[in-house]
Amino acid sequence: MEFWTTTAGLLRKWSIGLPLLAISILAGTVTFVIAPTRYEADTSLVLATPVNGGVYSRDPNRPLPRGNPLLQFNDALKTAASIVIQSMNTQDVWTQLGAPKDGPTTITIDDGRSNPRVLDISGPYIYIHVVAPSPAVASSVLTKAQRRVRDELTGWQQTLGAPPSTYLTVANIVPASKPEAMMSTRWQLAAGVGLLVACAGLGLAYALTRRGELPLLRNAPPPPREPAPSAAARPAVPVAPAVSAYEDEDVVLWDTQEIVVVTEPVKGQDAAEALRADDDRRFASVTRDARTDDDKD
């Protein structure tokens, strides 16, 4: 999180963000200008059967037909196109056409699957695409490739012993295009270099910023510590004033019941006889004073 926060802060600074943007645009522009321009050209071919259907007979009255072996397969034209494509996709053939290994010229030969303009690749198509450093080289390699396709097809039919009148032919669906400059490659290269320069410059600015902050952090004095409160500085706990147990105005009275002895002297009896007489014990309600009871205790 700190990295992104620092990076955003650097980009918002005019002294860093604006020069970095200018350098990135300049690097992309220079790359676009000095990048080598490559040219591309392509063509599309299709195989076709002869007018006689690929069958030949010397005696019309007693025909003993001789057919083209390449037409004996199911989906014969598609099979013949696949054979030619496979025979063309070897490094030796590419070198003979002018596209050596690791060279500036590249060639692609397939059934049209690499061509975004082709909607159907189920037919006997042969697509040739050439990328070269100059228009002349692109046209030359493309012309040689078309001628080599026809030679390969004829050579296979001769090897299989097909009558010349039954030979398959090659027709151009799309004529060889004029070489065009591939500007998209230059734009991609320029954008990549500009982005790389921007990232490198931003990383360098971040590293320098962090490097400048570290000595400051090392030399910075430690933050002051708050002194611990001393015993003398501690606030005194208030002492509650002494209060007597009972104030004069605070009289605590309560009502209780006790067993009392009630003695009633009988006329004609002395005091001793009165004490020996049966005592009359009963409950009586007595009001007591707390102060008096405490004094007694």
Summarize pLDDT for 73-97 with one digit per residue, the tens.
Answer: 778 889 999 999 999 999 999 999 9
Query: What's the pLDDT at 22?
Result: 86
What SS3 class is residue 29?
Answer: helix
> Average per-residue pLDDT in the chain?
76
The answer to whether position 60 is within a domain reads no
Q: How many residues does the structure list for the chain?
A: 297
The total domain count for the chain is: 3
- Contact between 281 and 261 under an 8 Å Cβ cutoff? The reply is yes
Both 124 and 21 in one domain: the answer is no
Both 153 and 44 in one domain: the answer is yes
Bridge pairing between strands 125-132 and 106-110: antiparallel
For 9-18, how does the pLDDT look when each residue is reduced to its tens digit (9 = 90+)?
666 776 777 7
Confidence of residue 24 (pLDDT cuts 50, 70, 90): confident
Both 90 and 159 in one domain: the answer is yes
The answer to whether position 245 is within a domain reads no
Q: What is the dihedral of CA 253, 259, 263, 264, to 10 degrees?
A: 70
The answer to whether position 86 is within a domain reads yes
Both 175 and 50 in one domain: the answer is yes
Q: Quick one: residue 243, left, alpha or beta (phi over 0 = left, psi -120 to 50 = alpha)? A: beta
The answer to whether position 61 is within a domain reads no
The answer to whether position 239 is within a domain reads no
Both 71 and 168 in one domain: the answer is yes
Assign residue 120 the CATH number of its domain.
3.30.1890.10
Both 49 and 15 in one domain: the answer is no
Both 46 and 30 in one domain: the answer is no
Q: Which residues contact 29 (CB under 8 A, 6 or more apart)?
A: 190
The answer to whether position 260 is within a domain reads yes
| pTM exceeds 0.75 | no
Confidence of residue 135 (pLDDT cuts 50, 70, 90): very high
The C-alpha angle with vertex 177 and arms to 172 and 183, in degrees rounded to 5, equals 150
d(CA 163, CA 214): 88
d(CA 34, CA 233): 80
Query: E strands along the chain, which residues?
Result: 39-48, 55-56, 66-67, 106-110, 125-132, 169-174, 180-181, 253-262, 280-289
The answer to whether position 242 is within a domain reads no
Chain CA centroid to CA 143, Å: 46
Closest CA to 149 of 70, 77, 85, 76: 85
Both 28 and 139 in one domain: the answer is no
Neighbours of 127 (CB within 10 A): 22
Domain ranges, residue 156: 38-55+67-181
Residue type, position 177, single letter: S
Q: Which residues contact 277 (CB under 8 A, 6 or more apart)?
A: 263, 266, 269
Last residue of a domain, one of 163, 181, 199: 181
Last residue of a domain, one of 165, 181, 197: 181
Query: What's the pLDDT at 203?
Result: 80
The pair of structure tokens assigned to 126 is 């042969």
Q: Within 13 Å and on the Cβ side, how many CA atoms surround 265?
A: 7
Both 141 and 196 in one domain: the answer is no
| CA dihedral over 6, 11, 13, 17, signed as positive or negative | positive
The answer to whether position 88 is within a domain reads yes
Element (H, E) at 217: helix 183-219
Last residue of a domain, one of 138, 163, 181: 181
Confidence of residue 214 (pLDDT cuts 50, 70, 90): very low
d(CA 50, CA 68): 10
d(CA 9, CA 16): 10
Mean pLDDT along residues 280-297: 54
